[in-house]
């Protein structure tokens, strides 16, 4: 059995455990979710500028090859969101713009070059979704996104996509995020990109210890065979007064962690500092 198959099986087991725990552990611990009025009040009061995805600075080594200074790196991500309107569009939706930048820095190599920087701006419409009783049970987003590595010629990697996202709580401490995309344009340098990134991803986030320990799993399935990726993370808040700052351990296994090497299998374990996004806190029970 290949290392990818082993990784896939292990992460499927973790995924199953996370989902099952949300039903069996949290089914008896239902708290009160926000009402329609409380949600729109929260949207009106939230900062215009905030984090979108997690912001982090982590360093690590490969797990599927001999560790050398040339294959060890630092990965960091900067991600933010700017609210343009607040529930003033049709259907009480709101307009926002996002920007995410992910970099791979070969800091341990001679001259410490940057291996790759991926740029991901987007513009989208968001809307809270409510159940029949008027309580929030999901957040929906429809976005236009561009992603590229800013290079030219044969090393250019870029694509545009229309993305639909739905976030919903499963029980009290679990959030499921389902994301699907429809690609619009490719560059001629990577016509097989979807074989590795597929048409969507699923993420499950489980709060294990409230305000202390969180685990999540993100899975993608490429269109070609077993190609795809799985990213498993564990976040631990070291201090009670550290807010949304955590120590994070991440294991990425699969394809397309970066655009430049989207068709190369990688398995990296990294550890470091993360400022966790609070973008989905509106879904949590109070």
| Confidence tier at 91 by pLDDT (50, 70, 90) | confident
Helices (H) and strands (E) in the chain, counts: 3, 13
Which of 79, 56, 103 is closest to 272 using CA atoms? 56
Average pLDDT over residues 223-245: 93
Question: What tens digit of pLDDT does each residue of 258-285 get?
Answer: 999 999 999 999 999 999 999 999 998 7
Question: What tens digit of pLDDT does each residue of 120-166 get?
Answer: 999 999 999 999 999 999 999 999 999 999 888 888 899 999 999 99
Q: Terminus-to-terminus CA distance in the chain, angstroms?
A: 45
**pLDDT of amino acid 120:** 98
Q: Residue 56 pairs with which residues in a beta bridge? A: 77, 274
How many other β-carbons are positioned within 10 Å of the β-carbon of residue 141? Answer: 19
How many other β-carbons are positioned within 10 Å of the β-carbon of residue 133? Answer: 9
Region at 208 (left for phi over 0; alpha for psi -120 to 50; beta for the rest): alpha
| Confidence tier at 216 by pLDDT (50, 70, 90) | very high
Q: Which of 18-22, 39-43, 64-68, 214-218 has the lowest mean pLDDT?
A: 18-22
**pLDDT of amino acid 18:** 47
Domains detected in the chain:
3-283 (2.40.230.10)
Per the prediction, the chain carries an average pLDDT of 88
Question: What tens digit of pLDDT does each residue of 165-202 get?
Answer: 999 999 889 999 999 999 998 777 789 999 999 999 99
Token output for 112: 């410490």
Average pLDDT over residues 104-130: 95
């Amino acid at each position: 059995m290949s290392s990818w198959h082993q990784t896939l099986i292990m992460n499927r087991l973790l995924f199953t455990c996370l989902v099952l725990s949300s039903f069996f552990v949290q089914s008896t611990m239902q708290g009160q979710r926000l009402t329609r009025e409380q949600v729109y009040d929260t949207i009106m009061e939230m900062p215009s500028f905030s984090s979108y995805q997690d912001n982090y600075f982590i360093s690590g080594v490969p797990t599927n090859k001999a560790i050398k200074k040339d294959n060890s790196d630092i990965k960091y991500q900067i991600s933010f969101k700017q609210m343009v309107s607040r529930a003033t569009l049709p259907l009480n939706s709101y307009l926002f713009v996002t920007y995410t930048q992910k970099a791979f820095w070969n800091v341990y190599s001679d001259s410490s070059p940057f291996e790759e920087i991926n740029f991901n701006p987007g513009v989208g419409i968001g809307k809270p979704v409510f159940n029949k009783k008027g309580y929030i049970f999901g957040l929906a987003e429809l976005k236009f996104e561009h992603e590229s590595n800013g290079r030219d010629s044969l090393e250019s990697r870029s694509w545009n996509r229309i993305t639909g996202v739905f976030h919903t709580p499963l029980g009290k401490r679990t959030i499921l995020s389902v994301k699907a995309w429809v690609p619009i344009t490719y560059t001629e340098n990577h016509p097989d990109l979807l074989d590795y990134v597929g048409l969507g991803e699923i993420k499950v986030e489980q709060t294990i210890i409230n305000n202390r320990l969180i685990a999540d799993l993100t899975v993608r399935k490429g269109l070609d065979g077993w190609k795809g990726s799985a990213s498993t993370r564990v976040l631990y808040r070291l201090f009670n007064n550290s807010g949304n700052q955590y120590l994070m351990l991440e294991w990425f296994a699969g394809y397309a962690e970066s655009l430049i090497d989207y068709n190369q299998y990688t398995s990296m374990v990294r550890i470091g500092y993360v400022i966790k996004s609070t973008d989905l806190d509106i879904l949590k029970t109070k």
